[in-house]
Structure 1
Amino acid sequence: MAPPRFSHREILATTAGLAIAMLLAMLDNMIVAPALPTILGDLGGLNHLAWVTTGYILASTVATPIWGKLGDLLGRRITFITSIAIFLIGSVLCGMSQNMAELVGFRALQGLGAGGLMVGVMAVLAEIVPPRERGKYQGVMMAVMPAAMIGGPLVGGFITDHLNWRWAFYVNLPLGVVALAVCWFTLAKLPRGTGKARIDWTGSALLTTWITALVLITSWGGTEYDWSSPQILGLAALTVAAFVAFVVVERRAAEPIMPLTVFRNRNFTLAGTLSFIVGFAMFGGMTFLPQFQQFVQGASATNSGLLLMPMMVAMMVTSLAGGALISRTGHYRALPIAGTVLMAAGLALFATMGTDTSKTVTALYMVVLGLGMGCLMQTTMLIAQNSAPLRDIGAATGAATFLRNMGGSLGVSILGSIYAHTLTGSITSNAGPAGDGGDSAARMTPELLRSLPEAARHLFQQAVTDGVGAVFTWAAIIAAAGLLVALAIRHVPLRGFAADKDQPQDAGDTPTEAKATVTA
């Protein structure tokens, strides 16, 4: 059956609904970050800080390929609208949370819906717009990313300062209702689905199992349980067993949730590794910088959102400039090398911050980090896509996205454990035998900190500085290791319109083909 035809007006209306849906998924983490210090003080549970972000990222990472298969089976319209509804239900429940355990669980529910939003937007766009016209509409979707990165912290900070942190989740409702209404009417012409898609439920279950067990190890090891405890050793055994079983199942599955063949390509594996490192650094920076800005530098939640703008603007400008440079010259290998150097340098600079570090100095450090991430985010995806045959572009894109999200999940989890352990240890050490680092930190808010005596305030600020310093020291080490990965990437000319449809190009292709249009 021929695909349905959409008029220009219908495409514009649908694109508006899709843009709102993508904004929902991308805006959420950015809004929540400035509110985290206040949320922690209200609900307690410093050790669960990382899971507020990790639960969301982890759930969306695992759910993304499942939503894609469900769209093939049931149709894009019903699955996309369902994912929006799940996201909104999760948002409401997050705003109603009474403790950290509830918040983490409901954030995971939000993440399940967000996974469907991300894959649904691109899948629906592919169905309603022919390939020759698709680029300009995808450009609209790409513009949503910087809008979310810059606007999210501002909205989250304003809500925290002037309303209540719970509105950081309730704010999703009006946008979500508009997206639901637009998509309900504009997507009515889409087909119901073939009913022939096979969903790799066994692979999905095993993927969820080993990822969750691994994140639990990094979150609980050395904090909740000793590294040699039966709980941690048991999780380690479960991680290894589930991972081995996952590999075996994916090799035999007719339609694997993650085709492993894409990892046979050297450049793809290297680009995927760099994607992992970028996710590790990006989500780590976004999660822990507001802690330092609000507790140590005295910024309000709104201002801490504004203070993140140098990093976001630098990342956006470099990403756009890098993409234009690659399109013009066909060469890209220098960008991941420069990006890892700048990212490691930025993280190392953050590790040197003290209680007297000014906001201007912090902004300069953010520019360095943003420039590095801007060189890497688009380029790593480009290399991954160019390293796979055209018939496997979808699988390659999904696997690279998975690795980036996985880096974010593990990064926030590992760095969160380091932060909590260092902060509480610093308080206990500096306060003497009477100090109780865990209890004093778990309920601290920026407002409460300002009411403390100067000596107590300085003690807590020093503890936050120690925690953030430890976080960025380890992040810088990981980023420095990424330089070795970047140096190992080989330059493979970029595919052009005349490139072979089944194989990635090799070094023997002509310069003209190498300079053809780049899809990132």
Structure 2
Amino acid sequence: MSHPAVMRALSGLLMGMFVSILAGTVVSTSMPRIISDLGGNQAAFTWVITSTLLATTVSTPIWGKFADITNRKLLIQIALVIFVLGSALAGFSQNTETLIIFRVMQGLGGGGLAALSQIIMADIISPRERGRYMGLFGAVMAVGTVGGPLLGGVITDAIGWRWNFFVALPFAIAAIFLLQRNLNLPTLEKIKVKIDYLGMILIAGGISLLLIWVTLAGHDFDWDSTTSFVMVGGAVLMLILAVIVEVKVENPIIPMSLFKNPTFSLAVIASISVGVAMFGTSVFLGQYMQLARGATPTQSGLLTLPMIGGLLLSSTFVGMLISKFGKWKGYMVFGSIALTVGMFLMGTIKYDTNYVVVSIYMFILGVGVGMVMQNLVLIVQNTVSPKEIGVASSGVTFFRSLGGTIGISVLGSVLATKIADGITAKAADIQTALVHLGPAGEAVGKQLQSGVLPKVAEMPDGIRVIIESVYGQGVADIFLLAAPLALITVLAIVFLPNRSLSTQTATERLKNGEDAQSAAGAEAAAAGENLIAVGEASIGAQGDLVATTGTISTLNPDGTRRSDADN
């Protein structure tokens, strides 16, 4: 495809990506306000985020499998509709329970957008050239990730947080139109396949049960209780059965044969830890800014810009370098190291740490995420068979989302425990501050005892400093807890096979592979015909010799004929 043709094809894809990013980021800065208005606590905050990632995680490999057997253009349009419909319905939520349900719907569509955008890119752009267009995706990502929190903060402060869920609707309609008009993909060979419904159920059930246990344990029941053992045992059993089913079925959701590819296996390991680092920590940055630094939703969006800026610059610049030189290993190793360093540095922040210092730490973390995140999918697509592009791409995305979902669940649970312990430890200081406030202190005390996320910016100074210090320490602790996982990313990337990037798209590789096979078959057939002709001539010659002499004679090495006795 020519550059203008690629740009036209990418227009709807870029708009679809913008929709998914905007719908996710526009509520990030307002989420503490949303949960507070709906009467939710820290566990509800975690579940509102986790539910979306959980649905995205379990649906991603399913979308990827469908992409290998049916119309990818139609699939991505369906994913857009589901995503935006879930987002719009979430705007009418009256409590955290209904909000979680609609966020699940949003996540189902998000899984399709995450997997299909990468798969369709592989159809029309070669791995070597993809870096050239990563700048466009980086720009869209920047507008969505930078503009989303700012827009969400302004909307929340001006007309209310519910409008954040409606803002993506016009962009989604435009994306569906552009995809229909400009995206023309090659027709896949029609094949009859059996959908692995049992594998879907076992994978989704096992992961969901495990994440529900992580979220509820320590609050609704003890970690070492009978309920914990039953839930963990059930989850492990379902996942073991899922592996057995995936090995035996004809068309598995996640083919186990992919794990024989060292690039895929190492990319999966790296993706899990990147997911924890990317989703599991960035989600809590909004809480840090609002609950540990007393920022408003709008201010929170502005304060998190350094991380987004680092992500944008690194992903765009490194993408250009990869396209120009065809090298990727060094950039990804450096990015994984930056990710690790950024995580450890973020683990040292307090509620009163100089913002310039915090912004430098966030920038380093963003640089690391930007260098590693998308390139893991790129190198996997470069090594697997073109017919497995869909399941391989969605597999990496699946494990990244799984890491993020587990990260948010575990880190959210740890944060809730840290906050509760911190407030208990400072109970005497809080009580003293409430007494000094007089009658106003009674209302503040009731708010703290309710477990609902506090509106720190509206609290009196004496109480606010205490609450900010507790949340600041709690958020720093979860960054520090997640930091060792980043070391796993470094090791996985170091051991990735350094294979050169292909200059062919997935469609070209598939076509050329078939052509090569056909050519090889024709060559073999021609060789076979020659062998038959030679054999027939030899048999004919021997037959003539027998008819003439009545004996079968052969030649000696020097060319003389052997006697019958020798024969």
> Normalising by structure 2, what TM-score?
0.77
| 1:32 equivalent in structure 2 | 27
Please say if residues 27 and 152 of structure 2, whose CA atoms lie closer than 8 Å, have aligned partners that are also in contact.
yes
| 2:86 equivalent in structure 1 | 90
Q: How many residues align?
A: 494
Q: Which range is displaced more, 318-327 or 258-267?
A: 318-327
| 1:396 equivalent in structure 2 | 392
Please say if residues 269 and 492 of structure 2, whose CA atoms lie closer than 8 Å, have aligned partners that are also in contact.
yes
| 2:544 equivalent in structure 1 | none
Is 2:51 the counterpart of 1:42? no
> For residue 198 of structure 1, what is the amino acid of its counterpart?
K
Report Cα offsets for 1:351-386 as digits up to 9, x if no partner.
Answer: 211222122121111111112222322332333334
2:374 to 368, 375, 378: 378
1:410 to 399, 406, 409: 406
| 2:261 equivalent in structure 1 | 265
Is 2:334 the counterpart of 1:338? yes
Please say if residues 75 and 193 of structure 1, whose CA atoms lie closer than 8 Å, have aligned partners that are also in contact.
no
Change (3 A) 1:459 1:142: closer
| 1:323 equivalent in structure 2 | 319
| 1:474 equivalent in structure 2 | 481
Is 2:308 the counterpart of 1:312? yes
Q: Which range is displaced more, 388-397 or 30-39?
A: 388-397
* Cα distance between partner residues in 2 of 1:9 and 1:372: 32
| 1:289 equivalent in structure 2 | 285
Question: What secondary structure, in the 3-state scheme, does the structure 1 residue paired with 2:30 have?
Answer: helix
Report Cα offsets for 1:387-409 as digits up to 9, x if no partner.
Answer: 43444333322211111111111
Please say if residues 344 and 480 of structure 2, whose CA atoms lie closer than 8 Å, have aligned partners that are also in contact.
yes
| 1:61 equivalent in structure 2 | 57
Change (3 A) 1:237 1:27: same
* Cα distance between partner residues in 1 of 2:317 and 2:183: 35
Percent of aligned pairs sharing the same letter: 34
Change (3 A) 1:16 1:494: closer
Please say if residues 61 and 398 of structure 2, whose CA atoms lie closer than 8 Å, have aligned partners that are also in contact.
no
Report Cα offsets for 1:84-126 as digits up to 9, x if no partner.
Answer: 3322321122111111121111100111122233444456677
Question: What secondary structure, in the 3-state scheme, does the structure 2 residue paired with 1:32 have?
Answer: coil
Question: What secondary structure, in the 3-state scheme, does the structure 2 residue paired with 1:223 have?
Answer: coil
* Cα distance between partner residues in 1 of 2:309 and 2:267: 24
* Cα distance between partner residues in 1 of 2:325 and 2:223: 50
Q: Which range is displaced more, 56-65 or 328-337?
A: 328-337
Q: CA deviation at 1:179?
A: 3.2
| 1:144 equivalent in structure 2 | 140
Q: CA deviation at 1:192?
A: 11
> For residue 371 of structure 1, what is the amino acid of its counterpart?
V
Change (3 A) 1:332 1:125: closer
* Cα distance between partner residues in 1 of 2:242 and 2:269: 19
Is 2:439 the counterpart of 1:443? no
Change (3 A) 1:165 1:459: same
* Cα distance between partner residues in 2 of 1:400 and 1:258: 10
| 1:215 equivalent in structure 2 | 211
Is 2:365 the counterpart of 1:365? no
| 1:18 equivalent in structure 2 | 13
Please say if residues 65 and 391 of structure 2, whose CA atoms lie closer than 8 Å, have aligned partners that are also in contact.
no
Change (3 A) 1:74 1:338: closer
> For residue 14 of structure 2, what is the amino acid of its counterpart?
A
| 2:242 equivalent in structure 1 | 246
Q: Which range is displaced more, 200-209 or 76-85?
A: 76-85
Please say if residues 226 and 232 of structure 1, whose CA atoms lie closer than 8 Å, have aligned partners that are also in contact.
yes
Is 2:468 the counterpart of 1:461? yes
Change (3 A) 1:244 1:11: same
* Cα distance between partner residues in 2 of 1:164 and 1:190: 45
Report Cα offsets for 1:192-218 as digits up to 9, x if no partner.
Answer: 994734322111111101111221222
* Cα distance between partner residues in 1 of 2:218 and 2:23: 30
> For residue 24 of structure 2, what is the amino acid of its counterpart?
N
> Normalising by structure 1, what TM-score?
0.84
Q: CA deviation at 1:242?
A: 1.0
Q: CA deviation at 1:470?
A: 1.4
| 1:3 equivalent in structure 2 | none
Report Cα offsets for 1:440-489 as digits up to 9, x if no partner.
Answer: 4743443xx33433221112111111210211110112223433334433
* Cα distance between partner residues in 1 of 2:170 and 2:17: 14
Please say if residues 430 and 466 of structure 2, whose CA atoms lie closer than 8 Å, have aligned partners that are also in contact.
no
Q: Which range is displaced more, 234-243 or 354-363?
A: 354-363
* Cα distance between partner residues in 1 of 2:88 and 2:235: 33
**Unaligned stretches of 5+ residues in structure 1:** 1-5, 503-520
* Cα distance between partner residues in 1 of 2:69 and 2:303: 45
